[in-house]
Chain A
Amino acid sequence: AQSVTQLDSHVSVSEGTPVLLRCNYSSSYSPSLFWYVQHPNKGLQLLLKYTSAATLVKGINGFEAEFKKSETSFHLTKPSAHMSDAAEYFCVVSDLTGNQFYFGTGTSLTVIP
């Protein structure tokens, strides 16, 4: 079965410092992986996705993630946090058919001015 584990439920960073949100996946095949962001009272928005092409994936708003098969990880990073980055972030894995998607429990990012 497929699953993702988000290792931190809360992360706080100062504005202008790097962001690291950690995600480990479990899958018996080469997975498709996603990061979504959820701002308060807004719908989930896709940040980026990995589908077995380049292992370093660039997304919107300066975010990127690197697929590391040896570590079964797909961590989300950003060089410099902005106040508008404060939100809930979800790591997601799809099943082999691409029909079902499994969300992690989320990481709440706080950006301190």
Chain B
Amino acid sequence: DTGVSQDPRHKITKRGQNVTFRCDPISEHNRLYWYRQTLGQGPEFLTYFQNEAQLEKSRLLSDRFSAERPKGSFSTLEIQRTEQGDSAMYLCASSPHLAKGTDTQYFGPGTRLTVL
């Protein structure tokens, strides 16, 4: 399967703990995006990378959130000192960056986080 993969698919943690999610994009896709989706809502943009550079961050991304893409391939999203409000589905998407036009994003299955 050459699609976007995310690990783990589910994570249950206690409030105050740190969690880290991983995303493996489609190979040769140089753009990688993170979104958060809460129940009954559409995905909300968190951040994106072009290769290893983090180019934009949403105001939703508080100081407790950090994302990395150290070698321009896989990415990690870490949440420190989790809160119950962090419970959501975290989605990763990748796209080939076109010189012209708007990229199509390919989404992974998501990581569902539950903070108790």
Interface residues of chain A, those whose CB is within 8 Å of chain B, are: 32, 34, 36, 41-46, 49, 51, 90, 92, 94, 98-106
Partner of B43, one of A45, A51, A103: A103
Whether B56 lies near A106 (C-beta < 8 A) is: no
Q: Given A41-B109, A94-B102 in contact, is the A99-B48 Cβ separation under 8 Å?
A: yes
Measured CA separation A32–B44 after assembly (Å) = 17
Partner of B3, one of A36, A43, A51, A90: A43
Minimum CB–CB distance from A32 to chain B (whole Å) comes to 4
Minimum CB–CB distance from B33 to chain A (whole Å) comes to 8
Minimum CB–CB distance from A16 to chain B (whole Å) comes to 29
Q: Given A43-B107, A44-B107, A45-B107 in contact, is the A105-B41 Cβ separation under 8 Å?
A: yes
Whether A90 lies near B56 (C-beta < 8 A) is: no
Whether A100 lies near B105 (C-beta < 8 A) is: no
Measured CA separation A99–B55 after assembly (Å) = 9
Whether B42 lies near A104 (C-beta < 8 A) is: yes
Measured CA separation A83–B16 after assembly (Å) = 43
Minimum CB–CB distance from A35 to chain B (whole Å) comes to 12
Whether A101 lies near B56 (C-beta < 8 A) is: no
Partner of B44, one of A94, A99, A103: A103
Q: How many A-B residue pairs have CB under 8 A?
A: 52
Measured CA separation A13–B58 after assembly (Å) = 37
Measured CA separation A94–B93 after assembly (Å) = 14
Measured CA separation A49–B106 after assembly (Å) = 13
Minimum CB–CB distance from B45 to chain A (whole Å) comes to 5
Q: List 18 A-B contacts (CB under 8 A).
A: A43-B3, A43-B91, A44-B91, A44-B93, A44-B107, A49-B102, A49-B104, A51-B101, A94-B102, A98-B103, A99-B48, A99-B55, A100-B45, A100-B48, A101-B45, A102-B45, A103-B44, A105-B42
